[in-house]
Amino acid sequence: MGFILYAPLSRLFMKFLPAVALCLSLLSASGFGVDAEQPLSFVKDVAPILTKATCNSASCHAKAGVGQRGFRLSVLGFETEEDYEHIVKEGRGRRVFPAAPEQSLLLLKAANIVPHGGGKRLDPKSEDYKIMLRWISQGMPYRLEGEATLVSLEVQPPRGLLPVKTQQQLKVVAHYSDGGTRDVTHTALYEANDKGMAEVTEGGLIKVLDLPGSVAVMVRYQTLSSVCNVSVPLGAPVKSLPPAKNFIHSHPTAWRKRGI
């Protein structure tokens, strides 16, 4: 059963419609909505999200030779051109649908709206989901004209001295060929080389456990990687050190800090 819009009400609605549309556009422009004007690219914006969501891991769509259920991606997104071809040009256009981006199979599967063997990889309310939605609505560009390339990856701090059972938040900065930078802490991947000494969250928070020693946290973003080296002191007081006999003993302050 439909609603009947009487003539006086319809005239009133049409009178205020332009003002309502203007208010909505101002809200979007002022940052209350998703910025639909910023152009996005597959290489710089979408590929890192797929890697973070483990879509291109060896246990998922980067499975050797065949991928998963007819959809194949390169391991950790190292072959972005091939990945772009598989996403945009294969599957008879079902994976991405610019006319109705939210109906793209790429998003429906990742959000587990359509049953997905890998489960829910993206929350429809998350910023990553919104970025992919906007990229599809913008026509799925591979690269933007004059787009800068990734040249180096910086981890802050590059090293640290952390007592047992403490934490340290890392910050990861990508440097580009045009001199620009981007904070990629959210989309970088983290892994400690000794999980008995430290754990790292998906957001880059190092959690030191109760074992002293040295642990390295590898940070990956797209094709680059870097390391944060963490020393965990024993905690025992050191009042004096023996005389230095070679270059190994030439930095007593550093040894004392580590409780050695």
Residue 24 has pLDDT above 60, yes or no: no
Give the model's pLDDT for residue 53. Answer: 83
Half-sphere exposure of residue 77, counting CA atoms within 13 Å on the CB side? 24
DSSP output for 36-68: SSS---IIIIIHHHHHHTTTTSTTTTT-TTT-B
pLDDT digits (tens, 9 = 90+) for 97-142: 899 999 988 888 888 777 766 678 789 999 999 999 999 999 999 9
pLDDT at 23 over 70: no
For 144-188, how does the pLDDT look when each residue is reduced to its tens digit (9 = 90+)?
Answer: 999 999 999 999 999 999 999 999 999 999 999 999 999 999 999
CA 144, CA 38: separation in Å to the nearest integer?
Answer: 11
pLDDT band at 84; cut points 50, 70, 90: confident
Mean pLDDT throughout 35-48?
86
Q: For residue 85, what pLDDT is reported?
A: 86
pLDDT at position 79 is 83
**Count of alpha carbons within 13 Å of 140, Cβ hemisphere only?**
19
> What pLDDT does residue 113 have?
77
Domains along the chain?
42-137 (no CATH), 150-237 (2.60.40.1080)
The answer to whether the beta carbons of residues 160 and 231 sit under 8 Å apart is: yes
How much is the mean pLDDT over the chain?
A: 78
* Joined tokens for residue 127: 């910023």
Check residue 84 and report its DSSP letter: H
CA distance 129 to 121: 10
Q: Is residue 17 predicted with pLDDT exceeding 60?
A: no
Question: pLDDT of 208-224, one tens digit each?
Answer: 999 999 999 999 999 99
